[in-house]
A and B are shown apart, each in its own frame.
Chain A
Amino acid sequence: MAFIKLSSPHATRRGTAGNVMQQVLLATLPGIAALTLFFGPGSLINIVLCAVFCLALEAGFLGLRGRPAMPFLKDYSALVTAILLGIALPPYSPWWLLLTGCFFAIVVAKQLYGGLGFNPFNPAMVGYVVLLISFPVEMTRWTLASPALAEGIALPNIAQGLQMTFGLLGNGDIDAWTGATPLDIVKQNQGETLSALYAQSPMLFSGTWAGAGWEWVNLGFLLGGVYLLYRRVFTWHAPVAMLIALTLLSALFYDGGSSESPGSPLLHLFSGATMLGAFFIVTDPVSSAVSTRGRLVFGAGVGILVYLIRAWGNYPDAVAFAVLLMNFAAPFIDYYTLPRTYGHSKANSGRVK
């Protein structure tokens, strides 16, 4: 009688890196759809260009490092980085901005450290932060959402979008489409109560609860995140901890909408990069904390930092900075949150006894 001799593990779950990344790619679709609907084809152009740049850079530097390119390209991690970067950057960003971002994400943050699995920082966020501190003008030029556009102005079409990306359109034309984001408006508040501010800014009053367009974009990413949770691509701990920390802090400091108020909890949850960060950035398996308790601490830390910087820092949104700072802290979090190993009554943490 023939027995099939196989060693454990016997579970057959399709859990390869490539499979996980494919799920992530699928889950970004609702958010990208909302971005395209409300801000025009800019994000799509960003994503396509970023994908081309990232894949080319990944293949090129794998070649320089003497590694085979195809197996690494097939794990789709470079594509996920490209898509996250393309979503995070303002729509219709110039091509050289995208290329610089991809270079820092793929080459500096990932390949120089040894490729996928060895990067201490989230590659897409490194690319984003390098661009944000280097090119503040281009990086703060977000498009207005379609309901908030001035009378008689339509969203750019694909031809106009490509013209902007390749620098063929004058700054005057671009200015008609761009404006402050909801978080920016609240941040730059010059002594108005929140209700007055909502009444005078189209970006805020043409939205339902957190700014025109942005609320739907965030809902889209929330939907994708819930799908990923359902497919068990990651656990709930980090995103939920981040969202709870952000909600608690924004509720605590909301103060009913005075001129000093940093904005309502709903605004903070459904505006800016909150949901994208919570479900697609904080959950990065490489650069976040590993253990269950560690992920709770990691997520909560990101949530707290996002709120602190949004409310009292120099930038209107802060997911990238918060994630990078917590990436720094991830090894220490892991060190102090070692889970109890089987056979031991207490966890063997790094604390001095």
Chain B
Amino acid sequence: MTDYRELTQNGLWKNNPALVQLLGLCPLLAVTGSVVNALGLGLATLLVLVGSNVAVSLVRNAVSDAVKLPAFVMIIASFTTGTELLMQAYTFELYQILGIFIPLIVTNCAILGRADAYASKNPIWPSAVDGFMMGMGFMGALLIIGAIREILGAGTLFADMHLLFGETARGWTVSLFGQNYSGFLVAVLPPGAFLVAGLLIAIKNAVDAEIERRQAAKRVVVKGSKRVRTTGNVA
């Protein structure tokens, strides 16, 4: 029986591809200059991740170990090309902005990692859920980093959302510091990406440590002697 709750927890928090596995850092650092870029690439990655997980799970019994990695990469490349063509068709401007980072989704280790570690050993439905949750976790991290960098670097939030959601989204831009904000350029430059990503990882670790501390405080210590079991199944 697959524990979907655990899959969700792993994808979104405990084993977050961006903040814990530290996979796919190249797009994470390169395109998170604004929310719209982050969301665009996050959605593309999510699509590829779910598709490749399902496809890999379908063929998992037909592909031998010797050729499984090339086969998985082929599958991922097909989905990436499909996503790229979709973006070219429907969000052309965003496609041009993200540029090389869309084809580079093929090399995102988070995707190959899930294909190899999970989808190649599990049935279709759990693999799809795993891919979806991992993709959501990755996109969540992208969005948070994108939002922080956009706020600091340009003083806005949700600028240029019409690239993704059509003309109605043009007015979504929230200007936080007024027109005179000159922009903290280092936040939109590569060093800012490293700084913000590092900060997020630190915050996540601090939250985990706090949760751990609270649980440890709740645990009841049983007094009295305990016999130490030395044979059989040592728990």
Q: Show the binding face of A for B, using Cβ within 8 Å.
A: 100, 108, 130, 133-137
In the complex the two chains form, is A133's CB within 8 Å of B185's CB?
Answer: yes
Distance from A43 Cβ to chain B, minimum over Cβ atoms (Å): 23
Q: A130: which B residues are within 8 A, CB to CB?
A: 186, 191
Q: A136: which B residues are within 8 A, CB to CB?
A: 185
Contact with A along B164-183 (1 / 0, CB 8 A): 00000000000000000011
In the complex the two chains form, is B195's CB within 8 Å of A133's CB?
Answer: no
For B188, the closest partner residue in chain A by CB is A134
In the complex the two chains form, is A133's CB within 8 Å of B189's CB?
Answer: yes
Known contacts A130-B186, A133-B185, A134-B184; 13 further A-B pairs (Cβ under 8 A): A100-B184, A108-B195, A130-B191, A133-B186, A133-B189, A134-B183, A134-B185, A134-B186, A134-B187, A135-B182, A135-B184, A135-B185, A136-B185
Residues 171-219 of B contacting A (Cβ, < 8 Å): 182-187, 189, 191, 195
Q: B183: which A residues are within 8 A, CB to CB?
A: 134
Q: A134: which B residues are within 8 A, CB to CB?
A: 183-187
Distance from B184 Cβ to chain A, minimum over Cβ atoms (Å): 5
Pick 12 A–B contacts, CB within 8 A, sort by A: A100-B184, A130-B186, A133-B185, A133-B186, A133-B189, A134-B183, A134-B184, A134-B185, A134-B186, A135-B185, A136-B185, A137-B182
A135 to B186, CA, bound (A): 9
Q: B185: which A residues are within 8 A, CB to CB?
A: 133-136
Q: A100: which B residues are within 8 A, CB to CB?
A: 184
Distance from B149 Cβ to chain A, minimum over Cβ atoms (Å): 13
Tally of contact residues, B, Cβ under 8 A: 9
A109 to B84, CA, bound (A): 40
Distance from A97 Cβ to chain B, minimum over Cβ atoms (Å): 10
Q: B189: which A residues are within 8 A, CB to CB?
A: 133
The A interface, classified by DSSP as helix, strand, loop or mixed, is helix
Distance from A236 Cβ to chain B, minimum over Cβ atoms (Å): 34
For A131, the closest partner residue in chain B by CB is B186
Q: Which 4 A-B pairs have the closest CB atoms?
A: A134-B185, A134-B186, A130-B186, A134-B184
For A137, the closest partner residue in chain B by CB is B182
For B152, the closest partner residue in chain A by CB is A134
A134 to B149, CA, bound (A): 13
Q: A137: which B residues are within 8 A, CB to CB?
A: 182
Q: B191: which A residues are within 8 A, CB to CB?
A: 130
A134 to B189, CA, bound (A): 9
Distance from B7 Cβ to chain A, minimum over Cβ atoms (Å): 34
Q: A133: which B residues are within 8 A, CB to CB?
A: 185-186, 189
Q: B184: which A residues are within 8 A, CB to CB?
A: 100, 134-135
Distance from A325 Cβ to chain B, minimum over Cβ atoms (Å): 14
Q: A135: which B residues are within 8 A, CB to CB?
A: 182, 184-185
Most buried by A among B184, B186, B195: B186
Distance from A146 Cβ to chain B, minimum over Cβ atoms (Å): 29
Q: A108: which B residues are within 8 A, CB to CB?
A: 195
Residues 2-60 of B contacting A (Cβ, < 8 Å): none
A262 to B187, CA, bound (A): 33
A137 to B180, CA, bound (A): 14
Residues 94-133 of B contacting A (Cβ, < 8 Å): none
A180 to B101, CA, bound (A): 41
For A135, the closest partner residue in chain B by CB is B182
Distance from A53 Cβ to chain B, minimum over Cβ atoms (Å): 17
Q: B187: which A residues are within 8 A, CB to CB?
A: 134
Most buried by B among A100, A130, A136, A137: A130
A137 to B185, CA, bound (A): 12
A100 to B191, CA, bound (A): 15
A137 to B184, CA, bound (A): 12
Distance from A139 Cβ to chain B, minimum over Cβ atoms (Å): 11
A311 to B184, CA, bound (A): 28
Contact with A along B132-147 (1 / 0, CB 8 A): 0000000000000000
A162 to B184, CA, bound (A): 24
For B198, the closest partner residue in chain A by CB is A112
A137 to B182, CA, bound (A): 10
Distance from B47 Cβ to chain A, minimum over Cβ atoms (Å): 35
Contact with A along B215-231 (1 / 0, CB 8 A): 00000000000000000
Distance from B190 Cβ to chain A, minimum over Cβ atoms (Å): 11
A130 to B152, CA, bound (A): 13
Distance from A105 Cβ to chain B, minimum over Cβ atoms (Å): 13
Most buried by B among A130, A134, A136: A134
A135 to B182, CA, bound (A): 8
A136 to B191, CA, bound (A): 16
A100 to B182, CA, bound (A): 14
A214 to B111, CA, bound (A): 57
Distance from B153 Cβ to chain A, minimum over Cβ atoms (Å): 9
A108 to B186, CA, bound (A): 13
Distance from A286 Cβ to chain B, minimum over Cβ atoms (Å): 21
A100 to B186, CA, bound (A): 12
A255 to B193, CA, bound (A): 43
A81 to B183, CA, bound (A): 25
For A138, the closest partner residue in chain B by CB is B182
For A104, the closest partner residue in chain B by CB is B186
Q: B195: which A residues are within 8 A, CB to CB?
A: 108
For A100, the closest partner residue in chain B by CB is B184
